[in-house]
Amino acid sequence: MSSNLATKLRVGTKKAHTMAENVGFVKCFLKGVVEKNSYRKLVANLYFVYSAMEEEMQKHKDHPIVSKINFQQLYRQRSLEKDLSYYYGGNWREQIQLSPAGEAYLQRIREVSQNQPELLVAHSYTRYLGDLSGGQILKNIAVTAMNLNEGEGTAFYEFADISDEKAFKTKYRQTLDELPLDDAAGDRIVEEANDAFGMNMKMFQELEGNLIKAIGQMLFNSLTRRRTKGSTELATAE
């Protein structure tokens, strides 16, 4: 018997997924406009979120539903620690802060773990499947946009324990379909996944102000250089 949860999640979160991709910060990222300070704040938020999610999933490692999708090959806490060390230095733990939207996201993960642990499936699906699907594309964009050296600052996108990402995603979706869930439980998971997309969007939106400010500064610097160059050329001509 199949719960068809994978299909329900794909169809049921399609609108939320599209909305998340159209948040300004994400649109800029996909176009190759990435500002390092904004990006490292995102990495810090994700570190708190993934740490909470993975901790809660481990608490329910014997749960009849959560245990089925608790693939530790997907865990991102350690990779995010590597990236934070790169962006902030060795004392990164003393520097990073959780934003208000990140705090709300983390608290929701704690809440569902305590009261409805099966809803952790929604949070796992929303984050991990997205990481696997677009990870390499986003990694390449980040490397180019922030002028990173290969292998530095992009550990988040690398799944060393997964040799075939496409095959793993197929396995993950099959596992979702085999979960012992009734329709009502499946609907609650889809609803929670939509909420998770919304919480991700709020984290991205928090970063838009920093990004816009950084882009404005870059444009200002570019115009200033052009004016300076023009003045110098004019003075030389005179």
pLDDT digit string (tens) for 174-210? Answer: 999 999 999 999 999 999 999 999 999 999 999 886 6
Provide the residue type at 14 as one letter.
K
CA distances from 2 to 61, 64, 87, 143, 213 (A): 22, 16, 44, 41, 49
Domain count, the chain: 1
Q: 70 or 1, which is more confident?
A: 70
pLDDT at 217 over 70: no
pLDDT at 216: 47
The tens digit of pLDDT for each residue in 62-73 reads 999 999 999 999
Domain assignment of residue 144, yes or no: yes
Lowest mean pLDDT among 88-97, 164-173, 213-222: 213-222
pLDDT at 200: 95
> How many Cβ atoms from other residues are within 10 Å of residue 97's Cβ?
10
Q: What CATH number corresponds to the domain at position 58?
A: 1.20.910.10
The tens digit of pLDDT for each residue in 116-163 reads 999 999 999 999 999 998 888 889 999 999 999 988 999 999 999 999
Domain assignment of residue 41, yes or no: yes
Domain assignment of residue 119, yes or no: yes
Domain assignment of residue 221, yes or no: no
Write the DSSP symbol of residue 99: -
Domain assignment of residue 159, yes or no: yes
DSSP string, 40-90: HHHHHHHHHHHHHHHHHHHHTTTSTTGGGG--GGG--HHHHHHHHHHHH-T
Domain assignment of residue 88, yes or no: yes
